[in-house]
Structure 1
Amino acid sequence: MLENISASHTFTKDGVYYFVRRVPTALRRHYTSSRISYSLRTRSASIAASRAIRASAQLDEYWYHLRCRDTELPGKHMLRSGAVPIGPEPISSPGVTNGYMTLSECVGVYLRLKGKGKGTTFHRAAERSCGYVIDVCGDRPISEYKKTDANTFRDALIDRGMAGSSIVRIFGTVRSVINFAASEKGLDITNPFGKVYFDRTAGVKDRQPVPLDAIRIVQENCYLADDEMRWLVSLVADTGMRLAEAAGLASDDIVEGAEGRYFVRIQPHPWRRLKTPGSAREIPLVGSAFWAAQRIKAKQGGSRFAFPRYNKTNTTNANAASAALNKWLKTYVPDGATMHSFRHSMRDRLRAVECPADIVDQIGGWQTDGVGHGYGTGYPIPILRKWLVAVA
């Protein structure tokens, strides 16, 4: 939602300035959307105004060239037979300089081609990571970035207090964007954002599993509260599902099998994608997860979603679920433990009953190494149930 309209072609959202410009009707066939909108990555009105003016001027210039290219050549009807009309030199979109794309143009190519079918997280990661580079080093042709720029960028991320794991992800995304765009356009460059040294463990905190006694306390309090949020906690606690997987379940994904036993079918949906293809699986529901399935079936019968609270738009709001549930959990779990910690706990709980590693991987949707593990359909539900009963 647009709010707090200020400088020309800008608006603010949560205090951050965004650029917005409608594409002229005559030129919309060149675009996938009728509006250009992106973050200016600043909370300063003066900086936002400067960046917006620059972006608007670039667009005006580019749109002028597009209109010239689309216009019929004057006097074309007077050319001698067989003459070849010489049109304007081929142009590319703003950001292409001396045959090389700028980083912002690389992001566009990367998302247009490789981003098809990917979720918003994939798109945001590319835009955010390369946006950091642009803020620090400028939006330049990718052939002009040097090793010193990459080192300066690294130092800027460290100064922001980012953990080593976050810096790894950002550099990995920037490298991927540049490599992909350069390969796609046939550009021969050396990516300066490769082989940059930094401490990958700096500021990284190990995720702690929730101790078994704390899990029991959490489950008891879920039974007492008996509401949608606590059903979600209970479902995750005794399955080890990722929170987004559980929050995005359709009601029909919770299936009642023989003898009143339930299992959950984790599969991709338009509103919630899965992290990896191997994340699609079926998990028997026992313990608190079985209780949650019963409550969902009894109370959410008319809803398309198992958890409507977190599916009010066209995308599952897993971030809202995480924030609310982690806040509630603090009272019952050790410091540093979160909803994701139940996933770590499930792995430890299965180890404790000597569950075979490939069964553990199938329950959690983890990748099992080895070519042979890609064959067949995996263990049947009764085998999985036996091991989950042992831990629940």
Structure 2
Amino acid sequence: MSVVVLKAGGMTITIRNVVRRKSGVFHWRMRVPKGLRGNHGGKSHLDFSLKTKDSQEAAPRASKLTAEHEALWASLRSPEVVSGTYTPQQVRDAAKAQLIALGLQPGGGREGSDGWWTVLDSFEREHGHAFQEARHHDGDGAERRFLTPVNRETERLYRDGEAPKEVTLTDARATYFRLHKEGAEGRFQRDTNLPVDAFMALAGDRPLPSYTRDQANAYRDEMSARGNKSGTVRRRLRVLSAIFNMAKREHSLTMVNPFEGMIIARDGADATPRLPFTLGELRTLMAACRKADDDRRHILSIQLDTGARLSEIVGLRREDVFLSDAVPHIIIRDHRDLGRRVKTAVSNRRVPLVGEALWGATRAMAEAAKAQGHGEWLFPRYASDGEVKGNHASGALNKWMRTLPGVEGTTHSFRHAMRDRMREAGIPEDIRDAIDGHGTKSVGERYGSGHSLKLLRDHMVKVVISPDGTP
């Protein structure tokens, strides 16, 4: 995109970034680097009339605009900007403050103004004698080598006016919390902040379009180097990808999500197999839990004969336990206003209490009735209004189980063991899913009130383990 200014013999002189409109007036037109379009209102190209039909007059005006914008864009890619110690938003804020201090307003120089002399004089005062000499004696714009990123942005801001506010990663996270169905919950915010804060520590808090795949890859590699398993790395990358996608959609950003479709070396190969407890291990656990007869062992006993997730049991409230009904049972459900949520929609369910689960729930309710000042939570050691500490419970219970001879699994092994026990007993898959809240409902299963508690109980008693360890 250039215009011929002069042809003489074999020599041709052209000027870059100039187009001639049908009216004959020359315009300066230049492509904005993709990562810097937020500084120009999202525009992919800048286009200014040079207000002349004379190519000889258009040439110096276009050259000046080209030089100014190349300098500005170079400043916004300078080491202090790229390193995150001096962000583009800080540059813009400082430039705006400089204009206001001079009694000028953004955009005030669009049509030509004596204010340009005020701007240049302020640069001269800032940079001193060397700038003054270069400006008045060296010529050819020599003084521009002294300009800081703030100085160059001051020029741009005075000429072009303010562009829309850039959406940073902090802004995107706030949007994510505001719009996500679980965004107000403390646990969800903690799980989200962990990868976001770690990535910002590595790459800075920047406008979203400025992040690159290299930075995303660097974060992935750092997580792996710290010993995180690939499953953990994958979960954290998914959080960041979801934040970028929501911000892209909600803020109408033109950008590529740097976390989309990321590859993790040996993804899943380092996962630790979750083996079910054997009948021998379950028998050992049954005896040890009954002997200890405290809140922690009550949790494990309920898990043993329901196959429920640990967090589902830890988060029970007294109002969720029905011991005097025709079929004693628990209700696993959300209490979102109290900080308790279940994993998926199908995790909300009623589960009959049989065997060790009935014993554990009965003892837990008796102990909860004696407790003072702990509200309605069944296991106040690990649950209170606003927080259910499933991870704390997991660490303590797994540590205790490792002290038992011949027991090698974790709390999640109860879930796998229950699934195997039901399968071996010939319990139909839809019943198994209804009991452990697993899988997804088919269209037909979404109608009606589901399986009756009696039907579920009649199947569950098939897998109750007798004291000698046999079903």
1:356 matched residue in structure 2: 428
Aligned partners of 1:155, 1:298: CA distance in 2, in Å? 51
Aligned partners of 1:346, 1:196: CA distance in 2, in Å? 35
Q: What does 1:162-181 align with in structure 2 at a 5 Å threshold?
A: 162-181=228-247
Q: Cα RMSD over matched residues?
A: 2.8
Aligned partners of 2:460, 2:285: CA distance in 1, in Å? 18
1:279 aligns with 2:351: no
Q: Output the amino acid matched with 1:308.
A: P
Q: How far is 1:117 from its partner?
A: 5.7
* TM-aligned CA distance change 1:299 to 1:335, over 3 Å: closer
1:292 matched residue in structure 2: 360
1:225 aligns with 2:292: yes
* TM-aligned CA distance change 1:97 to 1:250, over 3 Å: farther
1:250 aligns with 2:317: yes
- Residue by residue over 1:221-241, the C-alpha shift from the partner in whole angstroms, topping out at 9 and shown as x without a partner, is 111111111111101111011
CA contact (8 A) 1:257 1:263 kept: no
1:264 matched residue in structure 2: 330
Q: What does 1:28-67 align with in structure 2 at a 5 Å threshold?
A: none
* TM-aligned CA distance change 1:218 to 1:118, over 3 Å: farther
1:241 matched residue in structure 2: 308
Which structure has the bigger radius of gyration? 2
CA contact (8 A) 1:115 1:122 kept: no
Q: What does 1:114-129 align with in structure 2 at a 5 Å threshold?
A: 114=180, 116=182, 118-129=184-195
Aligned partners of 1:187, 1:297: CA distance in 2, in Å? 54
CA contact (8 A) 2:377 2:384 kept: no
* TM-aligned CA distance change 1:155 to 1:316, over 3 Å: closer
Aligned partners of 2:325, 2:250: CA distance in 1, in Å? 53
Q: How far is 1:380 from its partner?
A: 0.5
The structure 1 residue matched to 2:213, chosen from 139, 147, 151, is 147
What secondary structure is seen at the aligned counterpart in 1 of 2:388?
A: coil
Unaligned runs of 5+ in 1: 1-52, 69-95
1:110 matched residue in structure 2: 176
Q: What does 1:139-218 align with in structure 2 at a 5 Å threshold?
A: 139-198=205-264, 199-218=266-285
* TM-aligned CA distance change 1:215 to 1:333, over 3 Å: farther
Q: Output the amino acid matched with 1:330.
A: R
* TM-aligned CA distance change 1:115 to 1:267, over 3 Å: closer
Aligned partners of 1:193, 1:201: CA distance in 2, in Å? 18
* TM-aligned CA distance change 1:117 to 1:136, over 3 Å: closer
Q: Output the amino acid matched with 1:113.
A: L
- Residue by residue over 1:119-163, the C-alpha shift from the partner in whole angstroms, topping out at 9 and shown as x without a partner, is 323212221112222122222211111222222222222211221
Aligned partners of 1:124, 1:110: CA distance in 2, in Å? 13
1:374 aligns with 2:374: no
Aligned partners of 2:191, 2:365: CA distance in 1, in Å? 36
CA contact (8 A) 2:318 2:378 kept: yes
Q: How far is 1:116 from its partner?
A: 4.9
Aligned length in residues: 307
Q: What does 1:7-18 align with in structure 2 at a 5 Å threshold?
A: none
Aligned partners of 1:118, 1:373: CA distance in 2, in Å? 31
TM-score, normalization: structure 2? Answer: 0.60
* TM-aligned CA distance change 1:217 to 1:334, over 3 Å: closer
What secondary structure is seen at the aligned counterpart in 2 of 1:300?
A: helix
- Residue by residue over 1:222-274, the C-alpha shift from the partner in whole angstroms, topping out at 9 and shown as x without a partner, is 11111111111101111011111111211121102445x42111122214111
Aligned partners of 2:405, 2:238: CA distance in 1, in Å? 34
Aligned partners of 1:108, 1:311: CA distance in 2, in Å? 27
* TM-aligned CA distance change 1:333 to 1:368, over 3 Å: farther
With 191-200 and 238-247 compared, the bigger mean Cα shift is at 191-200
* TM-aligned CA distance change 1:239 to 1:137, over 3 Å: same
- Residue by residue over 1:31-70, the C-alpha shift from the partner in whole angstroms, topping out at 9 and shown as x without a partner, is xxxxxxxxxxxxxxxxxxxxxx999x97xx79x99xx9xx
Aligned partners of 2:86, 2:445: CA distance in 1, in Å? 54
Q: Output the amino acid matched with 1:295.
A: R
Aligned partners of 1:284, 1:163: CA distance in 2, in Å? 36
Q: Output the amino acid matched with 1:127.
A: N
What secondary structure is seen at the aligned counterpart in 2 of 1:131?
A: helix
CA contact (8 A) 2:167 2:208 kept: yes
* TM-aligned CA distance change 1:294 to 1:209, over 3 Å: same
Q: Output the amino acid matched with 2:344.
A: T
Aligned partners of 2:291, 2:325: CA distance in 1, in Å? 28
2:46 matched residue in structure 1: none
